[in-house]
């Protein structure tokens, strides 16, 4: 989908693609141009070094999250992120929010396995630092090229907020007494997308579940979660 939207943007040109693919709340609500939130979430801009990096992050972290939670749950996650980020982006006047979607994926992964070492560029860092590392990197690049560091950091901030809304309601709130996990993928999605939704065969999924269980034990010992 990202490739299709990017190719469409190249064929149409920057001006037309901005008018056709960008998020426009008025046209979505009153013109029923319902494709705009989807294209705004998929458009990474014109091909460049930044485009290649974002495409790599999208594939890497998106694939990791999908393997970890299953295709059906991953699809539900994306739909929730598009809805939340459409509201955030409309409020802040952002025409595209693919970067925010990438950061939201990374935030959910990093919260599931916060202390796991992971390589970023030439460094090995704890997983929880990655969303903030990407934000700092983009802000520094924007500042060095004469742009606005705050504007470069905003999509990452919105992605972290949106991802944490999902993570809280999916992984923290259900562990409260009497609370339910109401963000489970519906059965029809699991039947459609997952080979066997009742069997967890993915090592990544087992790793995430193990991490979440250890955090749950930590809560019983007095550790504070959600911070």
CB 44 within 8 A of CB 62: no
CA distance 117 to 126: 5
pLDDT of residue 86: 96
- What's the per-residue H, E or C state across 97-110? CHHHHHHHHHHHHH
pLDDT of residue 10: 60
Highest mean predicted confidence (pLDDT) among 36-40, 44-48, 198-202: 36-40
Strands (E) across 81-182 are located at: 117-120, 123-126
Per-residue pLDDT tens digits for 161-217: 999 999 999 988 888 777 788 888 888 888 888 765 444 444 555 556 565 555 555
Model confidence band, residue 119 (pLDDT cutoffs 50, 70, 90): confident
Tokens of residue 122, six digits: 């030439």
CA distance 23 to 94: 8
> Would you kindly state where each structural domain of the chain is located, as residue ranges?
2-220
Mean per-residue pLDDT, 155-166: 96
Of residues 222 and 114, more confidently modeled: 114
pLDDT of residue 199: 44
Count CB atoms within 10 A of the CB of residue 149. 16
Q: Answer yes or no: is pLDDT of 158 > 60.
A: yes
Q: Answer yes or no: is pLDDT of 114 > 90.
A: no
In this prediction the pTM is 0.80
Q: Which CATH architecture has domain 2-220?
A: Up-down Bundle (1.20)
Percent of the chain with pLDDT over 70: 78
Of residues 55 and 151, more confidently modeled: 151
Out of 85-99, 136-150, 186-200, pick the least confident: 186-200
CB 99 within 8 A of CB 156: yes
pLDDT of residue 200: 46
Average pLDDT, the chain: 81
**Residue 156 to residues 75, 104, 144, 167, 218: CA-CA distances in angstroms?**
21, 8, 18, 16, 29
CB 151 within 8 A of CB 100: no
CB 5 within 8 A of CB 54: no
């Amino acid at each position: 989908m990202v490739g299709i939207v990017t190719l469409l943007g190249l064929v149409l040109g920057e001006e037309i693609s901005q008018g056709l693919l960008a998020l426009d709340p008025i046209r979505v609500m009153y013109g029923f141009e319902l494709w705009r939130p989807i294209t705004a979430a998929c458009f990474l801009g014109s091909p460049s070094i930044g485009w290649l990096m974002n495409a790599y992050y999208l594939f890497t972290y998106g694939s990791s999250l999908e393997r970890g939670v299953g295709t059906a749950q991953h699809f539900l996650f994306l739909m929730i992120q598009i809805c939340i980020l459409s509201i955030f982006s409309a409020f802040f006047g952002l025409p595209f929010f693919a970067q925010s979607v990438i950061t939201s994926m990374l935030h959910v992964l990093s919260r599931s396995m916060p202390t796991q070492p992971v390589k970023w560029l030439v460094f090995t860092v704890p997983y929880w630092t990655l969303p903030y590392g990407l934000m700092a990197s983009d802000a520094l690049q924007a500042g060095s090229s004469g742009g606005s560091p705050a504007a470069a950091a905003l999509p990452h901030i919105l992605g972290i907020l949106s991802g944490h809304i999902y993570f809280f309601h999916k992984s923290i709130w259900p562990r409260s007494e009497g609370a339910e996990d109401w963000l489970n993928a519906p059965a029809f999605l699991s039947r459609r997308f997952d080979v066997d939704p009742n069997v967890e065969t993915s090592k990544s999924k087992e790793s995430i579940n193990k991490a979440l269980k250890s955090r749950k034990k930590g809560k019983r010992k007095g550790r504070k979660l959600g911070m």
